[in-house]
Amino acid sequence: MDKPSKRKARPAIFVHGGAWAIPEIEREAHQKGVHRASMAGFETLLTGGSALDAVQKAVEHLEVDETFNAGRGAVLNAEGEVLLDAAIMNGADLKAGAVACLSGVVHAVALARGILERAPHVMLVGDGARAFAEEAGVATCSPDSLIVERERKRYERAKQLSKSGGLDPVGGPADTVGAVACDAHGHVAAATSTGGSLLKLPGRIGDSPLIGAGLYADDRRGAGSSTGWGEGIMRVGLALRAVDSITSGLGPAEAAQQAVRILESRTQGHGGIILVDFKGELGHAFNTPHMAYAYLAEGMTQPEIGI
């Protein structure tokens, strides 16, 4: 495999907006959202930003877009609150930052970046994570300002269904957001941000902020960001498994397909993954009815969008 230093790569970004049965009425908004986020991330790469800057920028776009289960617009837990999980990882030095069970911050990914840069730890949760926002220069907000009407209604319906035993605990909205990127120096990075799963128990943490499950980045291979049913994704270590399987003989497209096949066969899990390798080649796979995604790389004039 090539040495990661001093080589040139194709700048590329891949963004996802979740893998699940996205209702028809929500599909256009998902496509527009991932389109915009991929453009913002790619612009960062073209103006000299690093892969790490690009994934943060793309995810921040999705966190303020109420369409997605991240930042404002995230799903509510069993107590009717928004509690966020997010992480970011740099492939050059394997540095990472993560937050979980976080309330009152729109840009959970920015706080994760602050932890990567300033904390002596990789992950902070709950009140400790929120308290670190000041140190990281990240704005806080009232926890209720993250709740949107669509999600309040979804929560009420789901509560009723769960009382009557009709709620599919793994079939709810899973529009976690994520991004992977490769910059012109061949450095890769990954980021994720989510409200987790609808009606999750207080204290539940999904795969999204877990290094190796929700995301992974290593310049020697590539970067990956997962989405879907977190309890299955965690148990197969989906992101590390997929990134680690990228070799000169197995590109990101095949690596993504192989990882999702393992998720399905070993845990009966469902979800998807986006991948980039250190040359800027891209790949993705999902076994859900939909995954909202967009990618853009040097040589392309417009993002390729899918759902």
**Residue 22 amino acid letter:** I
Kindly name the residue from 44, 67, 176, 194 that is annotated as catalytic: 176
> In this complex, which beta carbon is closest to ligand ASP, that of residue 224 or of residue 280?
224
> In this complex, which beta carbon is closest to ligand ASP, that of residue 206 or of residue 252?
206
> In this complex, which beta carbon is closest to ligand ASP, that of residue 181 or of residue 233?
233
Q: How far is the CB of 203 from ligand ASP (least distance, A)?
A: 13
Q: How far is the CB of 5 from ligand ASP (least distance, A)?
A: 33
Phi-psi region of 211 (alpha: psi -120 to 50; beta: other; left: phi over 0): beta
Q: How far is the CB of 35 from ligand ASP (least distance, A)?
A: 19
Q: How far is the CB of 209 from ligand ASP (least distance, A)?
A: 9
Residues that bind ligand ASP (CB under 6 A): 18, 69, 174-176, 194, 196-197, 206-208, 227-228, 230, 233
> In this complex, which beta carbon is closest to ligand ASP, that of residue 53 or of residue 207?
207
> In this complex, which beta carbon is closest to ligand ASP, that of residue 194 or of residue 245?
194
Q: How far is the CB of 118 from ligand ASP (least distance, A)?
A: 25
Catalytic, 176? Answer: yes
Please check whether residue 223 is in contact with residue 111, taking contact to mean a CB–CB distance below 8 angstroms.
Answer: no
> Catalytic positions, please?
176
